């Protein structure tokens, strides 16, 4: 393997500053504050590299407390005081008061801002006042659910008997939970499969539900989020039927427009509390981009040093200075390799004493393991841990000296969640975001306002998606016949049209009293799947079922020869049987990964919205995408270097979904000064970069999106760039791109224009999942095409300032430095 971090194999000059050299690694001398830690790390970096693109200082923010509301249960207040909560923070009382008054509320404040107390205060007070009342608490992960259970158990009156009701609850306990618990910790899956279909059995609980708590509600997004939205509508309907009208309290780390996102999720008006009154420790926050290297990837594109390699170097440097550091990486395998590389660097520097104090977090997600890690880190036994985002939620590690983020974790909420692990009250900490070789990471490294400004990513759901709505209406009808009065909650006319289709398909029956489920048994709806039949992954030799992959993604991920990662372990696919929907794999850890190659065709089915901009027109609508995986490449881990390509024979797949697209007539093409030869590559490059950037505005991953560009599309007769949702029926991402078109394309243009490569690289216009092997791509042409589109958008917005997309204060145009005044942040 190549030496991934050559510059740091020698002792850094920074260790001569006498800070900790030769000292016991922790305890004896204080760890320097974040700014000094950064300076020391940078002193060890070759001058020509200059990886730091921006340094942001987050000042200490003092807390703002207020009085307990008069209605607070005195016993609860005493228990809180005993746990060190002397007075509530202002946002906690603001949210609690709204909930107490019966308003649905979302608390959208920062990490560790005490969001739990905002719902515990009204909910536990009501439980104390009314011995029959109960609470349903929903969490997106079982680990978080178990943690919350412990926290409520410590605060609640013993009569509350908090208990979990999820897939891990033994059958013999389930009855007990239903009968006795007044704080039931569960998840949307259990609500969907276990509680709502058996609502008669649950009726005595459901008629007493006073509050429904939806923690970490930003986790409910895309198709899954749209399903959860309907599960919550079903819950409200059933509760109403039993005479209950629970108050919904949602909690989330900050996302754009939390009130609108929460309202869409719950299906009724939700107000937001966002003014964070909790204290924030200070931090130095550096944006870091690894330099381009001599190595080349597809079409000779220069490759950057990997984020994991730089993260390992930083981890070693920081540990050497005694700083307790967490490095967040993207996969479990990467966690192990980053910890290993950091240990090697320390060993090379003769710091054998520190080697054993660096580890990776690779265990399951058991509470005991997390507690042990917390203990070892806070006791200083461990100084450096490389971890996946498994440690992001539901763990009480705070007060670290430094956090390194190797790559953008996908959402700003996650970024702040991870960054928030650093910081102590008295001293500022260090956070380093290390960009990966990818357009979004590159953009963030060069546009601090996108990180430190107002949040711009929105939690996108689309409850009107017919592939979600149809099955959900079936579930609702199977629970209780649907009546015309119910329809408003499920989308009104859209739901009515869907019901007609379901009746025509024989799934529902229309009777004078409503719509009835006509199928056998219960509707079988997987709220986490795409609707395609899942593909079973079977281990050769043992016959063990390792898991399943979504049918929609299977051709690209478990084709013969594919590298398949399951819970951090790697396997290679021996055989993929499309008919039987199963793939046989064997364990193997090669030093390569695989990427599928495909060809795509797209036909426009219907246009829903059109924005004529002159020579350019923007649209959204429904499209049919035909996709066929035709080959795959092996790429070297870490560098992305293409090692080999193999053909595949797989049937095409059809996807009806939603898209956003731009058409450019000949005037636009002329103005962009791209000739016939350059046009396909210019459009293709713009499409790739746009796909790379959309997750900045919509909480999705670039793998949730697809794209197609062409010099002449048969349905439009013009040059066109399409970006579509990679899920049947759409997930709302393309619509979000349409709504934020200008900001999206400004950021796209800035990413391409500011990348220092000459003709395109993975940080700007190359895509890791391009079906055409990133050919053709014309970086310069892409910038000119985007300029023409942006000119037209600017002219249009000037003429019609009411469009929803005129606010570009947060995302700069990319060429200039960020504005001097950056708004205060939730941290
Ligand atoms: N008013 C308060 N005064 C002092 N400490 C508080 C107060 N409210 C909450 N805390 C403490 O702050 C810590 C974080 O609280 P909590 O876990 O509820 O935050 P959170 O916002 O839910 O965090 P996360 O973002 O990780 O979900 C806990 O240790 C809690 O006891």
Ligand 1 interacting residues, C-beta cut-off 6 A: 85, 88-89, 92, 111-117, 253
Top mutation candidate among 110, 112, 118 for ligand 1, by most atoms within 8 Å of CB: 112
Output the pLDDT for position 773.
Answer: 76
Distance from residue 335's CA to the centre of ligand 1 (Å): 28
Distance from residue 107's CA to the centre of ligand 1 (Å): 13
383-387 mean pLDDT: 92
Query: For residue 741, how far is the Cα from the chain centroid?
Result: 21
% pLDDT > 70, the chain: 89
Cβ proximity of 749 and 653 under 8 Å: no
768-783 mean pLDDT: 87
Alpha-carbon distance of 613 to 804, in angstroms, equals 15
Which of 221-225, 547-551, 760-764, 811-815 has the least mean pLDDT?
811-815
Cβ proximity of 684 and 711 under 8 Å: no
CA angle 521, 525, 530 (to 5 degrees): 155
The atom number, within ligand 1, closest to the CA of 86 reads 3
Alpha-carbon distance of 272 to 275, in angstroms, equals 9
Output the pLDDT for position 378.
Answer: 77
Distance from residue 165's CA to the centre of ligand 1 (Å): 24
Which of 580-589, 651-660, 798-807 has the least mean pLDDT?
798-807
Give nearest CA residue, ligand 1 atom 10.
114
Output the pLDDT for position 398.
Answer: 63
Task: Reply yes or no on whether the pLDDT at 499 is more than 70.
Answer: yes
Task: Reply yes or no on whether the pLDDT at 10 is more than 50.
Answer: no
CA angle 599, 603, 608 (to 5 degrees): 135
User: In which region does residue 111 sit, left (phi positive, over 0), alpha (psi from -120 to 50) or beta (all else)?
Assistant: beta
For 293, the 3-state DSSP assignment is strand
What is the DSSP annotation of 530-587? -SSPPEEEEETTT--EEEEE-HHHHHHHSSTT-EEEETTEEEEEEEEETTTTEEEEEE
Task: Reply yes or no on whether the pLDDT at 604 is more than 50.
Answer: yes
According to DSSP, the β-strands at 209-214 and 134-138 are parallel
Distance from residue 507's CA to the centre of ligand 1 (Å): 47
| Bond into 776 cis (ω within 30) | yes
Alpha-carbon distance of 572 to 552, in angstroms, equals 19
The atom number, within ligand 1, closest to the CA of 216 reads 27
Give nearest CA residue, ligand 1 atom 6.
85
Task: Reply yes or no on whether the pLDDT at 544 is more than 90.
Answer: no
Output the pLDDT for position 28.
Answer: 43
Among residues 401, 377, 385, the alpha carbon closest in space to that of 322 is found at 401
Distance from residue 417's CA to the centre of ligand 1 (Å): 13
Strand partners, 517: 508
The atom number, within ligand 1, closest to the CA of 253 reads 25
Output the pLDDT for position 3.
Answer: 28
Q: How confident is the model at residue 111 (pLDDT cuts 50, 70, 90)?
A: confident
Task: Reply yes or no on whether the pLDDT at 12 is more than 70.
Answer: no
Task: Reply yes or no on whether the pLDDT at 826 is more than 60.
Answer: no
Exposed, middle or buried: residue 821 (CB in 10 Å: 0-12, 13-18, 19+)?
Answer: exposed
The answer on 569 and 513 residing in a single domain is no
Cβ proximity of 807 and 744 under 8 Å: no
Among residues 602, 620, 608, the alpha carbon closest in space to that of 740 is found at 620
The answer on 792 and 652 residing in a single domain is yes
The atom number, within ligand 1, closest to the CA of 144 reads 27
According to DSSP, the β-strands at 247-252 and 209-214 are parallel
Helix (H) or strand (E) holding 656: strand 653-664
75 assigned to some structural domain: no
96-109 mean pLDDT: 97
Give nearest CA residue, ligand 1 atom 18.
114
Q: Which residue has the higher pLDDT, 344 or 732?
A: 344
Alpha-carbon distance of 738 to 805, in angstroms, equals 9
Distance from residue 112's CA to the centre of ligand 1 (Å): 5
Query: For residue 11, how far is the Cα from the chain centroid?
Result: 38
The answer on 212 and 112 residing in a single domain is yes
Range of the domain at 490: 466-517
Q: Please state the domain count of the chain.
A: 5
Alpha-carbon distance of 352 to 485, in angstroms, equals 71
CA angle 266, 255, 125 (to 5 degrees): 55
Distance from residue 79's CA to the centre of ligand 1 (Å): 15
Q: Which residue has the higher pLDDT, 211 or 417?
A: 211
The answer on 544 and 496 residing in a single domain is no
47-54 mean pLDDT: 90
Give nearest CA residue, ligand 1 atom 26.
112
Output the pLDDT for position 816.
Answer: 29
Distance from residue 614's CA to the centre of ligand 1 (Å): 52
Distance from residue 89's CA to the centre of ligand 1 (Å): 10
Which of 355-364, 559-568, 696-705, 707-716 has the least mean pLDDT?
355-364
The answer on 789 and 643 residing in a single domain is yes
Half-sphere exposure of 85 (CA within 13 A, CB side): 21
Q: How confident is the model at residue 411 (pLDDT cuts 50, 70, 90)?
A: confident
- Domain-terminating residue out of 546, 572, 590: 590
Task: Reply yes or no on whether the pLDDT at 145 is more than 90.
Answer: no
Output the pLDDT for position 704.
Answer: 85
580-596 mean pLDDT: 92
Distance from residue 544's CA to the centre of ligand 1 (Å): 42
638-642 mean pLDDT: 73
**Mean pLDDT rounded to a whole number for the chain:** 86
Output the pLDDT for position 658.
Answer: 94
The answer on 201 and 255 residing in a single domain is yes
Top mutation candidate among 116, 147, 411 for ligand 1, by most atoms within 8 Å of CB: 116
Q: Which residue has the higher pLDDT, 61 or 125?
A: 125
Among residues 570, 522, 577, 538, the alpha carbon closest in space to that of 554 is found at 577
User: What are the φ and ψ backbone dihedral angles of 588, each rounded to 5 degrees?
Assistant: -165, 145
237 assigned to some structural domain: yes
- Could you give the angle at which helices 142-155 and 367-379 cross, rounded to 10 degrees? 70
Alpha-carbon distance of 160 to 125, in angstroms, equals 11
Output the pLDDT for position 801.
Answer: 53
User: What are the φ and ψ backbone dihedral angles of 399, each rounded to 5 degrees?
Assistant: 75, 25
The answer on 144 and 285 residing in a single domain is no
Q: Measure the N-to-C terminal CA separation of the chain; round to a whole number of Å.
A: 39
The atom number, within ligand 1, closest to the CA of 107 reads 21
799 assigned to some structural domain: yes
Q: Which residue has the higher pLDDT, 723 or 45?
A: 723
Top mutation candidate among 80, 88, 117 for ligand 1, by most atoms within 8 Å of CB: 117
Contacts 24+ apart (CB under 8 A), 41-45: 41/12, 41/14, 41/314, 41/317, 41/318, 41/432, 43/12, 43/13, 43/14, 44/7, 44/8, 44/12, 44/13, 44/14, 44/317, 45/7
CA distances for 334 relative to 166, 213, 225, angstroms:
30, 35, 28
Provide CB contacts within 8 A for 143, sequence distance 6+.
365, 367, 370, 390, 393, 394
Alpha-carbon distance of 219 to 527, in angstroms, equals 14
- Domain-terminating residue out of 575, 590, 605: 590
Q: How confident is the model at residue 528 (pLDDT cuts 50, 70, 90)?
A: confident
The answer on 265 and 295 residing in a single domain is no
Distance from residue 58's CA to the centre of ligand 1 (Å): 20
Distance from residue 108's CA to the centre of ligand 1 (Å): 13
Q: How confident is the model at residue 819 (pLDDT cuts 50, 70, 90)?
A: very low
The answer on 558 and 697 residing in a single domain is no
Task: Reply yes or no on whether the pLDDT at 214 is more than 90.
Answer: yes
Top mutation candidate among 72, 76, 81, 114 for ligand 1, by most atoms within 8 Å of CB: 114
Output the pLDDT for position 795.
Answer: 87
Output the pLDDT for position 822.
Answer: 28
Alpha-carbon distance of 564 to 642, in angstroms, equals 18
Output the pLDDT for position 383.
Answer: 94
Give nearest CA residue, ligand 1 atom 22.
115
527 assigned to some structural domain: no
Alpha-carbon distance of 503 to 162, in angstroms, equals 42
The answer on 744 and 654 residing in a single domain is yes
Output the pLDDT for position 362.
Answer: 59
76 assigned to some structural domain: no
Query: What are the pLDDT digits (tens) for 72-93?
Result: 999 999 999 999 999 999 999 9
820 assigned to some structural domain: no
The atom number, within ligand 1, closest to the CA of 80 reads 31
Output the pLDDT for position 394.
Answer: 52
Among residues 759, 752, 707, the alpha carbon closest in space to that of 598 is found at 707
396-418 mean pLDDT: 84
449 assigned to some structural domain: no
Exposed, middle or buried: residue 471 (CB in 10 Å: 0-12, 13-18, 19+)?
Answer: buried
The answer on 496 and 558 residing in a single domain is no
817 assigned to some structural domain: no
The answer on 575 and 428 residing in a single domain is no
Q: How confident is the model at residue 7 (pLDDT cuts 50, 70, 90)?
A: very low
Query: What are the pLDDT digits (tens) for 466-485?
Result: 889 999 999 999 999 999 99
Task: Reply yes or no on whether the pLDDT at 14 is more than 70.
Answer: no
Query: What are the pLDDT digits (tens) for 662-697?
Result: 999 999 999 999 999 999 999 999 999 999 999 888
What CATH number is given to the structural domain containing 184? 3.40.50.300
């Amino acid at each position: 393997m190549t030496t991934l971090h050559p510059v740091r194999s020698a002792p850094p000059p920074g260790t001569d500053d006498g800070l900790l050299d030769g000292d016991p690694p922790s305890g004896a001398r204080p760890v320097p504050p974040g700014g000094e830690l950064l300076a020391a790390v940078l002193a060890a970096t070759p001058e020509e590299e200059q990886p730091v693109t921006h340094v942001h200082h987050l000042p200490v923010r003092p807390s703002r407390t207020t009085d307990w509301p008069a209605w607070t249960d005195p016993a609860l207040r005493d228990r809180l005081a005993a746990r060190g909560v002397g007075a509530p923070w202002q946002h906690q009382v603001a949210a609690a008061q709204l909930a107490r008054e019966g308003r649905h509320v979302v608390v959208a404040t920062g990490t560790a801002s005490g969001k739990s107390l905002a719902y515990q205060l009204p909910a536990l007070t009501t439980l104390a006042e009314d011995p029959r009342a109960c609470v349903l608490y929903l969490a997106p992960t079982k680990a978080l659910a178990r943690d919350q259970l412990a926290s409520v158990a410590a605060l609640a009156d013993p009569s509350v008997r908090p208990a979990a009701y999820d897939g891990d609850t033994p059958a013999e306990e389930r009855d007990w939970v239903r009968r006795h618990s007044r704080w039931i910790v569960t998840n949307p899956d259990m609500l969907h499969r276990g509680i709502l279909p058996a609502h008669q059995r649950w009726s005595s609980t459901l008629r007493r539900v006073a509050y429904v708590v939806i923690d970490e509600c930003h986790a409910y997004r895309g198709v899954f989020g749209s399903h959860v939205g309907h599960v919550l509508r079903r819950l409200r309907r059933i509760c109403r039927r039993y005479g209950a009208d629970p108050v919904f309290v949602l909690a989330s780390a900050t996302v754009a427009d939390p009130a609108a996102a929460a309202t869409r999720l719950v299906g009724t008006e939700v107000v937001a509390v966002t003014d964070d009154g909790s204290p924030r420790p200070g931090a130095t926050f550096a944006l870091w981009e690894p330099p381009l290297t001599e190595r080349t990837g597809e079409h000779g594109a220069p490759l950057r040093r990997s984020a994991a390699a730089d993260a390992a170097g930083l981890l070693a440097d920081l540990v050497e200075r005694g700083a307790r550091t967490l490095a967040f990486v993207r996969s479990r395998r990467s966690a192990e390799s980053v910890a290993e590389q950091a240990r090697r660097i320390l060993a090379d520097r003769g710091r054998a004493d520190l080697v054993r104090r660096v580890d990776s977090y690779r265990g399951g997600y058991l509470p005991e393991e997390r507690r042990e890690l917390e203990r070892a880190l806070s006791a200083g036994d461990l100084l450096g841990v490389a971890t996946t985002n498994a440690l992001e939620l539901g763990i009480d590690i705070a007060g670290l000296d430094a956090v390194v983020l190797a790559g953008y974790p996908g959402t700003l909420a996650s970024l702040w969640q991870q960054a928030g692990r650093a910081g102590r009250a008295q001293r500022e900490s260090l956070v380093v975001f290390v960009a990966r070789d990818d357009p979004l990471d590159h953009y963030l490294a060069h546009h601090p306002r996108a990180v430190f400004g107002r949040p711009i990513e929105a939690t996108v759901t689309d409850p009107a998606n017919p592939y979600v709505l149809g099955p959900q209406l079936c579930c609702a009808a199977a629970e209780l016949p649907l009546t015309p009065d119910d329809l408003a909650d499920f989308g009104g006319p859209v739901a009515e049209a869907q019901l007609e289709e379901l009746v025509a398909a024989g799934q529902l029956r229309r009777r004078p009293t409503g719509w009835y489920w006509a199928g056998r048994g219960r509707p079988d709806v997987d709220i986490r799947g795409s609707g395609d039949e899942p593909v079973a992954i079977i281990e050769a030799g043992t016959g063990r079922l390792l898991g399943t992959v979504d049918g929609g993604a299977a051709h690209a991920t478990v084709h013969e020869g594919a590298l398949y990662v399951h819970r951090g372990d790697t396997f290679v696919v021996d055989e993929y049987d499309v008919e039987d929907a199963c793939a046989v794999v064997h364990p193997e850890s090669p030093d390569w990964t695989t990427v599928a190659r495909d060809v795509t065709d797209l036909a426009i089915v219907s246009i829903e919205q059109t924005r004529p901009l002159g020579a350019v027109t923007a649209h959204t609508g429904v499209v049919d995408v035909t996709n066929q995986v035709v080959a795959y490449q092996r790429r070297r881990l870490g560098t992305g270097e293409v090692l080999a390509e193999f053909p595949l024979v797989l049937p095409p797949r059809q996807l009806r979904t939603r898209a956003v697209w731009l058409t450019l007539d000949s005037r636009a093409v002329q103005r962009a000064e791209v000739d016939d030869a350059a046009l396909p590559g210019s459009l293709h490059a713009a499409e790739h970069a746009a796909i790379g950037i959309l997750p900045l505005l919509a909480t999705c991953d670039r793998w949730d999106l697809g794209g197609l560009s062409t010099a002449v599309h048969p349905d439009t007769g013009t040059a066109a760039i399409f970006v579509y949702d990679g899920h049947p029926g759409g997930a709302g991402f393309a619509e979000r791109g349409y709504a934020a078109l200008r900001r999206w394309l400004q950021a796209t243009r800035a990413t391409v224009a500011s990348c220092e490569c000459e003709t395109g690289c993975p940080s700007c216009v190359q895509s890791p999942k391009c079906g055409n092997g990133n050919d053709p791509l014309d970086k310069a042409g892409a910038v000119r095409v985007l300029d023409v589109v942006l000119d037209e958008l600017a002219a249009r917005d000037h003429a019609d300032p009411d469009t929803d997309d005129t606010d570009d204060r947060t995302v700069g145009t990319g060429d200039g430095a960020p504005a001097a005044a950056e708004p205060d942040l939730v941290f």
